[in-house]
Amino acid sequence: MKKLMTVLVTITVFWPAALWACTGDCGDQWAVLTPKGYIASHEKTLILTALGLMLLVVVPVILMTVIFAWKYRATNAHADYDPEWDHSTRIEVVIWLVPTVIVAILGTLVWTSSHALSPYRPLASSQPPLKIQVVAMDWKWLFIYPAQKVATVNQLVIPAGVPVDFIITSDAVMSSFFIPQLGGQIYAMAGMTTHLHLIADEPGVFQGYNTQFSGQGFSGMHFETVATSQDSYNQWITQIREQGKVLDRPAFKTLELPTKNEDPQQYSLAIPDLFDSIVTSFSPNTNSPAKTTPTPMIED
């Protein structure tokens, strides 16, 4: 019995406490609990608050199940025996009132946080937002910096402390854009655009993923997000303009071919309306042979 109680206490108390305390280097698998941005920090607080509220019911129920089974076992001659008992007002009040209060609190949290943390809601900042257009492809991410006239593949660089307005679409099947340490995920869909506003509070390197299964190359569809100083970011942009390959129409047609585990690439953008043309190419009124003709996959 003592061993069983030890296991139950460990599972119901110390493990959630460890999650709450995991704010240091807990590895990629704990990325959601090691936020490095405004949105991710609030999402972590929301997750742990909801967990704590639910444990107010879960922990007592688990403990009382074991305690009652032990106390009222057949061999315990000292336990009260009342075969006519069928009602307790105090128990009824507890089992109905406590969950009702918890659900009401959770409902309020979900309602307010859904609006406050909406991916479409711009972040308040003294810095103007940086616009980045994101395109999910087979099986890589294309990042377009329209104002800077550069583009990258599987490489995202942003200045720390500057809000970023991601405008997201897909040039292939549906994908899911997710940088756990900066904020929640949002879907990328062909012919549609979604928005995501994020900010990195400090410099660092954060992993980004596609969390929507999208075919053979899905496992390699990830990228590094590098948050750096404004000066380093400006130097990086200048370097791409001077040394990067040119992303023109022929180069983009090659880029559209399905590939696996694509290495980061940098381009000087020569197609000002590239993002819009990708979105509109899936319109029923648009004739786009590239979308109707299957393309071969480039193997590693």
Chain-centroid distance, C-alpha 5 = 36
Among left, alpha and beta (phi > 0; psi -120 to 50; other), residue 27 is left
pLDDT at 299: 47
Q: What are the residues facing 214 on neighbouring strands?
A: none
Cα-based torsion angle of the residue sequence 115, 116, 121, 127 in order, rounded to the nearest 10 degrees: 170
Percent of the chain surpassing pLDDT 90? 68
Contact 167, 131 (CB under 8 A): yes
Encode pLDDT of 84-105 as tens digits: 888 899 989 988 998 899 999 9
Q: What mean pLDDT do residues 235-261 have?
A: 94
| Residue 5 parent element (H or E) | helix 2-9
Q: Give the pTM.
A: 0.80
pLDDT at 140 over 90: yes
Which residue intervals of 192-284 are DSSP H helices? 230-243, 249-255, 274-280
Identity of the residue numbered 260: K
pLDDT at 74: 85
In 3D space, the residue among 248, 255, 251, 250 whose CA is nearest the CA of residue 272 turns out to be: 248
Q: What mean pLDDT do residues 29-34 have?
A: 83
Average pLDDT over all residues of the chain? 87
Confidence of residue 292 (pLDDT cuts 50, 70, 90): very low
Tell me the angle at which helices 2-9 and 38-71 cross, rounded to the nearest 10 degrees.
Answer: 160
* CA triple 22-25-27, angle to 5 deg: 95
pLDDT at 36: 95
Cα gap 71→300, rounded to integer Å: 64
Give the largest Cα separation in the chain, rounded.
88
Cα-based torsion angle of the residue sequence 35, 159, 270, 172 in order, rounded to the nearest 10 degrees: 0
Tell me the backbone φ, ψ of residue 285, rounded to 5 degrees. -95, 5
The number of residues in the chain equals 300
Cα gap 23→19, rounded to integer Å: 8
pLDDT at 294: 41
Which residue intervals of 37-149 are DSSP H helices? 38-71, 89-116
Cα gap 33→26, rounded to integer Å: 8
Dihedral of CA 73/77/79/85: which sign? positive
pLDDT at 180: 95
pLDDT at 29 over 90: no
pLDDT at 289 over 90: no
Q: What mean pLDDT do residues 188-199 have?
A: 96
